[in-house]
Structure 1
Amino acid sequence: MNEPVVPGLEAAFEVDARLGELQDHGVTRAGHRRVVPIVGGRITGLVEAEILPGGADWQLVRPDGAVEVDTRYTARTAEGGHVYLSTSGVRSGRPEVLEALLRGDLVDPSEYYFRLAVRLETSVPGLAVLEQSIFVASAVRGADWVRYTAFRVT
C-alpha cells in the first residue's frame, strides 16, 4: 500500500553532438584533465533544437582508465528559445577499447560502458515540464561525435 513505485524508462529525446579537437590539459590536482569542445549538433524527440557551439565536456581520466564525463552545452529551438543541458557520467571498458575510442576508431557500443545522467533547464514554457523529470542516457562515441538516447525515469 505505501510501497514506492518501481521506476521505468521511456525514450524522451536523442542527442547527436559534434565535437571539436580534444584538448589534453595533462595531470592536474584533480587528475588527468581533458576538454572536448562541443561545436554543434541536433536534439530530436520531446526537444527539437540545434546544439550551439561553445559547450564542452570537461573530462577526468581516472587511474583505472575510465573517463568521468561532465558536459555543459546549449541548444536553440526553431522558435529561438534556449535549452541548457548538462550531463555527468562515465565511459569505461577494457584498456584496448578505451585506447581505440581515443584514437577515434568506431567501436561496437557493447564493448564499453557509456552512461549519463542528463539535466535540462529552459525558459521555454512548452518544455518546462522536462525540468520536472530525471533523465538517464546510453551513449555511443565516434571520432568527432557523441550520440545518446535520453530516457525519462517514470
Structure 2
Amino acid sequence: MTAEPPVPALEPAFVVEADLGPLEDHGHTRAGHRRVVPIVGGTVRGAFDGRILPGGADWQLVRSDGAVEIDGRYTARADDGGLLYLHAVGIRSGAPEVLAALLRGEPVDPADYYFRTVVTLESATHPQFQQSLFVASCVREATRVRYTAYRLT
C-alpha cells in the first residue's frame, strides 16, 4: 500500500510579546554583518502562559540583500514555575526603505515586510511542546517583537 503523507495544517498555539533592549551592532565579522538584540522580558500566552526572562537575545546576520537572518534564543518561566527554552529561526525581509524604517524604530505596517520564523521549544517540565514544530508570523516594533505561533500538524 502506498499512502500519501498527511497535509500539514496550522493550529494557533501561543502569542509572544518579547521586550527588546538596544541593538548592538557588531559590524562586519567573519560570519557577515552581525547584530545582537537583547531580549529583556515579555510574555507568552496561549498553550502555556508565562514571562520571558531577561538574558536571551536575537543573534542576527544582515545579508548583502538587506534581509535579516533571525536566530532568537530565550527562556520563559511558565505560570506553573516550569522553564521553557524557545528558539526562533527565520527571516525578515522587505524593501530597503522599509527595513531602514524598522531599524530606526518607526511604525511600519506588517504587510509591508516579510517576517516569519520556525520556533522550537525545549522543556523538562512541559515535554509535550518538544514533540512539534511551530511557525510564526511576526511583527517588529520599536522596542518589542510580537508573534503568533502556530503548531504545524
Which residue pairs with 2:10 in the alignment?
Answer: 9
Inter-partner Cα distance in structure 2 for 1:78 and 1:6? 34
Q: Aligned-pair distance for 1:79?
A: 2.4
Q: Secondary structure at the match of 2:17?
A: strand
Cα offsets for 1:70-109 (capped at 9, x unmatched) = 0110010122210000010000000000000000011000
Instruction: Give the secondary-structure state (helix, strand or coil) at the position aligned to 1:5.
Output: coil
Q: For the residues of structure 1 that align with 2:79 and 2:47, how far apart are their CA atoms?
A: 13
State the partner residue of 1:82. 83
The residue that corresponds to 1:61 in the other structure is: 62
Mapped to 1, the partners of 2:151 and 2:113 lie a distance apart of 22
- Aligned partner letter, 2:152: V
After TM superposition, the structure 1 = structure 2 runs for residues 114-133 of structure 1, keeping only pairs within 5 Å, are 114-124=115-125, 127-133=126-132
Matched AA of 2:121? L
TM-score (norm 1): 0.97
Aligned to 1:144: 143
Q: SS at the partner of 2:48?
A: coil
Distance in 1 (CA, whole Å) between partners of 2:11 and 2:108 is 26
Residue-pair matches, total: 152
Percent sequence identity over matched residues? 64
2:148 partner letter: T
Structure 1 segments unaligned to the other structure (5+ residues): none
RMSD: 0.7
- 1:31 is matched with 32
2:4 aligned counterpart, secondary structure: coil
Provide TM-score, normalisation by structure 2: 0.98
For 2:129 and 2:82, the matched residues in 1 are separated by 14
Supply the AA of the counterpart residue of 1:82. L
Q: Partner residue of 1:20? A: 21
The DSSP-based 3-state class of the residue aligned with 2:97 is helix
Partner amino acid, structure 2, of 1:61: V
Consecutive unaligned residues of structure 2, counting only runs of 5 or more, are none
Question: What is the one-letter code of the residue matched to 1:142?
Answer: E
Residue 96 of structure 2 corresponds to which residue in structure 1? 95
Distance 1:7 1:75 in 2: 27
Q: Deviations over 1:97-150 (max 9, x none)?
A: 0000000011000000000000000111xx311110110000000001000000
Letter in structure 2 aligned against 1:31: G
**What's the CA shift string for 1:43-74, capped at 9, x where partnerless?**
00002110000000000000000000001100
